[in-house]
Amino acid sequence: AQTVTQSQPEMSVQEAETVTLSCTYDTSESDYYLFWYKQPPSRQMILVIRQEAYKQQNATENRFSVNFQKAAKSFSLKISDSQLGDAAMYFCAYRSGYNTDKLIFGTGTRLQVFP
Amino acid sequence: KAGVTQTPRYLIKTRGQQVTLSCSPISGHRSVSWYQQTPGQGLQFLFEYFSETQRNKGNFPGRFSGRQFSNSRSEMNVSTLELGDSALYLCASSLPTSGGYNEQFFGPGTRLTVL
């Protein structure tokens, strides 16, 4: 069975600084996707960034980038130039590449952003 | 384009009652997934439907059931409610493609409180 582990329950960062959220996963599958989702206090889950396992290049979306280490099964999220609006719960998630939308989530990291 | 809608947004029930939650996916989306979010267990996958067929099921007791209609709207039902069923229930929809990636969009959730 696949598992996703987030070992940082809480993180904090100052505005304009950079923060990295950690995530490790375990799977025996070769085809899969990894995601970071953001859940602000309003509760609407939003996709931040995704990574396809077959792609060696790390995904980047504006201020958000990932460090995907496939052999180590590590998938960290780097937020650059942090903004107050980045404050939220961040969930790392795994999805098999085989005909399913099922997401397996980590326990989440609460990110606080201080002015 | 309207997003995923969930009704009701808030619900209070007592132990032993049953409840039905509804999810309307984004127009054209045919895949719907349900998740339970609690402080103790985090985000857990309940079930996934595609074209009225349950494609995947999480590890929940038989009191939890769901279905999908021909217009892709989905309902989940919980019978004989227990205190531990108090949670935020999230629904997500996607437009499945033949192979490859399809983004899931989450609804705002239904907050169920069992007294």
Q: Are A52 and B101 an interchain contact pair (Cβ–Cβ within 8 Å)?
A: yes
Q: What is the pLDDT of residues B1-40, one digit of tens each?
A: 689 999 999 999 999 999 999 999 999 999 999 999 999 8
pLDDT confidence tier of residue A107, bands split at 50, 70 and 90: very high
- pLDDT above 90 covers what percent of chain B? 90
Residue A98 confidence (pLDDT) = 82
Alpha-carbon Rg of chain B, whole angstroms? 14
Q: Are B45 and A52 an interchain contact pair (Cβ–Cβ within 8 Å)?
A: no
Number of H helices, E strands in chain B: 0, 11
Q: Cβ contacts (< 8 Å) between B92 and chain A: which residues?
A: 45, 101, 103
Q: Are B31 and A108 an interchain contact pair (Cβ–Cβ within 8 Å)?
A: no
B92: closest CA of chain A, how far (Å): 9
Cα–Cα distance for residue pair B7/A102, rounded to 1 Å: 22
